[in-house]
Amino acid sequence: MLKDAPVMITFSIGDMPKAKWFYSEVLGLEVDDSMGMLALKLPGGTQVAMYVKKDHKPANFTLLNFTVDDLDKAMAELQGKGVTFEHYDLPDTKTDEHGVVDYGMMRIAFFNDPAGNNHGILEMTGK
C-alpha cells in the first residue's frame, strides 16, 4: 500500500525567521514559506517541512543527513558561515579534533540548527 507513496519528513522548530535564515542563507537550500510552514526543496524529490511548535524541544537524534563529495571542504564552507560542529565521546560515536566520526564506509560531522535539531553531513569513503 505505501511502497509507492511519496514521503514527507516533518519536524518542529521554535522560530520560523531564524530557521528560514539558517536553511536558506547558511546551508544554501531553497526554502518555501508560503504555506505557514518552511518547506525545503531538496534534490531527488525528498520533501521536508518544518513547523513552529511553541514548546519545541530539539530532537535527540539526527534528523537530516546531507551527502557531500568532500566532507572537509563542506565543513570549511559551513564553518565560514558560523556553523559549529558537535564533538562526541560516546561508545559508538567518537569524533576527532575536527568533529568528524570515521565509520569506515563513511565520514560524518554533526551540527545543530538554530532550534537545536541535529543534522549531519557525510562523505561516503568506500573503505
pLDDT tens per residue, range 56-77: 999 989 999 999 999 999 999 9
So what's the pLDDT on residue 127?
A: 66
Cβ atoms 105, 125 nearer than 8 A: yes
Instruction: Tell me the domain boundaries of the chain.
Output: 1-54, 62-127
Q: 126 forms bridges with which residues in the sheet? A: none
For 19-24, the CB contacts below 8 A with 24+ separation are 19/50, 19/113, 19/114, 19/115, 21/114, 22/113, 22/114, 23/50, 23/113
**What average pLDDT does this structure show over 4-20?**
92
Average pLDDT, the chain: 94
CATH code for residues 62-127: 3.30.720.110
Task: Give 99-119 pLDDT, tens digit per residue.
Answer: 999 999 999 999 999 999 999
Give which of 69, 67, 61 is closest to 112, Cα–Cα.
61
What's this model's pTM, rounded to 2 decimal places?
A: 0.92
Please tell me the predicted confidence (pLDDT) of residue 123: 97
- What pLDDT sits at residue 81? 96
Q: What pLDDT score was predicted for residue 28?
A: 95
- Architecture label for domain 1-54: 2-Layer Sandwich (3.30)
**Alpha-carbon distance 123 to 125, whole Å?**
6
Residue 35 has pLDDT above 90, yes or no: no
Note every long-range contact of 86-94, with CB atoms under 8 Å and residues 24 or more positions apart, other chains counting.
86/110, 86/111, 86/112, 86/118
**Residue 74 φ/ψ, nearest 5 degrees:** -65, -40
